[in-house]
């Protein structure tokens, strides 16, 4: 078949595969191997561009440690970090944490100064300096006011840049003690309450929401660096997957998946790349990640019909499905029937239809017997009054038919041609004619089978619009390669 969407998915840039996982029975095609990306990151933008004008003078970390009680003993595990606590209650609730908002509220600003660079200390001290920089970056700021704490924000930004470079260089082994501080820093910066969508606050419907500009997070200059640091840690050859899985665990993955609902497309793009790398590196998490994505789809389809990251999740799945081992497991077939096909139901399917169509055709390429299931699923959710959505379905039907074998086509051709006849008799016929004309009924289907199908169209269409029937017959006959 034509690979219409091959260039659409950035995740599939390499032909290398991960070995089959006995627990999940699949392989995943990962782009770019384990090489770190450019300094611009997935979301674009230059990391070296200053976010504020102030700069802090270099000083030792002793002042910072003495400023916050309990700092030397280290904060608790990141899972115990209470998420989404109101700013006024965080200092009380996080007694053992280096309270970020205490700094942002001006209680310890005089002690927030730059740490020395890695190149300015002996190699034996870089490990401890790395941990100190991680703890310094655990502080968070209010980015809604660009004039507030400019000096401290710039110090943190420079520190994050150094952390990214340190991990990229691979000069230090990431051991268990470091991973504990890494996950604490990531949790304090990334795991937060997302603001309500603009269309939810305004009360507009889904159609209007698609036309609105997305809300950009004002904290992105720092969030981008935190996401880049996480990505470099995951792909680093110095990261031991057996050790890291104790910290990048199921709870951590779930919190990452929650962030896919962010309105900022730059954040979703980073999350897509990071989750895909986690899926590739941590084989033990693969079944859980697929199940968690399933649950997001179920809630979107049957409850909310509102989620900003469905397209990105489908992009990840498109690469995962491509690496499924054959024969397909029953679990994977159920995922197609229960999650992917019902994704045609929501009104906002146009937002993610391109990625969804790619995933569907990947399943048919893996197992041609699924074509009948897919076509009948499309007919089940075929729109009745939404002509724009109907054009999308016809476009997907074209892709599906190109991968369908004659035996599978004969099983579903009766309901299929009945639906096509309804499109012909529709008041929107002129809009559909271009798509119907592109439906390629290949020579692999016998003339007798197509002749019977034409008779079905005669019966289904009746004589209401004879010239349209004649046009459709001519279209099908011209598509045969026997003539």
Please check whether residue 297 is in contact with residue 250, taking contact to mean a CB–CB distance below 8 angstroms: no
Span 6-362 CATH architecture: Alpha Horseshoe (1.25)
Q: Which residue has the tokens 């501080």?
A: 181
DSSP sequence for 286-313:
HHHHHHHHHHHHHHIIIII---S-HHHH
Contact 404, 444 (CB under 8 A): no
**Residue pair 42/224 in contact by the 8 Å Cβ criterion:** no
What phi and psi, each to the nearest 5 degrees, are found at residue 43? -90, 5
Q: Tell me how far apart the alpha carbons of residues 89 and 478 are, in angstroms, rounded to a whole number.
A: 72
CB of 337 closer than 8 Å to CB of 367: no
Q: How far apart are CA 470 and CA 358, in angstroms?
A: 33
Per-residue confidence of the chain (483 residues) as pLDDT tens digits?
Answer: 444 444 444 454 333 334 344 344 444 444 433 333 433 444 444 444 433 333 333 334 344 344 433 333 333 344 444 444 333 333 333 333 343 443 444 444 445 677 888 888 888 888 899 999 999 998 888 888 888 888 888 999 999 999 999 999 877 778 888 889 999 999 999 999 887 766 555 455 544 445 567 788 888 989 999 999 999 999 998 888 898 999 999 999 999 999 999 999 999 999 999 999 999 999 999 999 999 999 999 999 999 899 999 999 999 999 999 999 999 999 999 999 999 999 999 999 999 999 999 999 999 999 999 999 999 999 999 998 888 888 899 889 888 988 888 888 888 888 888 888 787 776 655 555 555 554 554 444 444 455 455 555 555 545 344 444 445 544 544 444 333
């Amino acid at each position: 078949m034509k690979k219409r969407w091959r260039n659409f998915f950035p995740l599939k840039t390499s032909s290398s595969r991960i070995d089959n996982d006995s627990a999940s029975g699949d392989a995943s095609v990962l782009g770019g191997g384990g090489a770190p990306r450019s300094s611009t990151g997935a979301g674009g933008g230059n990391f070296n561009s200053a976010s504020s004008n102030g700069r802090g003078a270099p000083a030792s970390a002793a002042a910072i440690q003495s400023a916050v009680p309990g700092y030397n003993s280290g904060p608790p595990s990141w899972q115990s970090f209470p998420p989404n606590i109101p700013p006024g209650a965080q200092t009380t609730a996080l007694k053992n944490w280096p309270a970020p908002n205490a700094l942002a509220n001006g209680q310890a600003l005089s002690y927030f100064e730059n740490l020395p660079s890695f190149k300015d200390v002996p190699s034996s001290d870089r490990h401890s300096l790395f941990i100190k920089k991680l703890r310094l970056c655990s502080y968070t700021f209010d980015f809604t006011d660009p004039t507030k704490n400019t000096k401290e924000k710039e110090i943190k930004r420079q520190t994050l840049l150094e952390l990214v470079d340190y991990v990229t260089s691979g000069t230090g082994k990431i051991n268990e003690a470091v991973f504990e501080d890494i996950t604490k820093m990531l949790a304090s910066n990334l795991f937060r309450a997302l603001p309500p969508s603009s269309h939810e606050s305004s009360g507009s419907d889904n159609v209007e929401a698609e036309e609105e500009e997305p809300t950009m997070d004002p904290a992105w200059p720092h969030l981008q660096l935190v996401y880049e640091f996480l990505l470099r840690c995951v792909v680093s050859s110095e990261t031991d997957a057996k050790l890291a899985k104790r910290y990048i665990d199921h709870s951590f993955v779930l919190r990452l998946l929650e962030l896919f609902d962010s309105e900022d497309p730059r954040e979703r793009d980073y999350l897509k790349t990071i989750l895909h790398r986690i899926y590739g590196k941590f084989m033990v998490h693969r079944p859980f990640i697929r199940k968690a994505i399933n649950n997001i789809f179920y809630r979107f389809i049957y409850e909310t019909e509102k989620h900003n990251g469905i397209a990105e999740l489908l992009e990840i799945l498109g690469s995962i499905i491509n690496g499924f081992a054959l024969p397909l497991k029953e679990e994977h077939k159920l995922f197609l029937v229960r999650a992917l096909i019902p994704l045609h139901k929501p009104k906002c399917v146009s937002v993610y239809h391109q990625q969804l169509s790619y995933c569907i055709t990947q399943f048919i390429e893996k197992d041609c017997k699924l074509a009948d299931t897919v076509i009948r699923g499309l007919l089940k959710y075929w729109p009745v009054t939404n002509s724009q959505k109907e054009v999308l379905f016809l476009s997907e039907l074209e892709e599906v038919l190109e991968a369908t074998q004659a035996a599978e086509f004969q099983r579903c051709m009766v309901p299929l041609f009945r639906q096509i006849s309804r499109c012909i008799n529709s008041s929107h016929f002129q809009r559909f004619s271009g798509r119907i004309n592109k439906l390629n009924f290949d020579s692999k289907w016998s003339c007798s089978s197509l002749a019977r199908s034409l008779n079905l169209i005669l019966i289904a269409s009746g004589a209401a619009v004879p010239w349209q029937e004649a046009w459709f017959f001519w279209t099908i006959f011209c598509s045969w390669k026997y003539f």
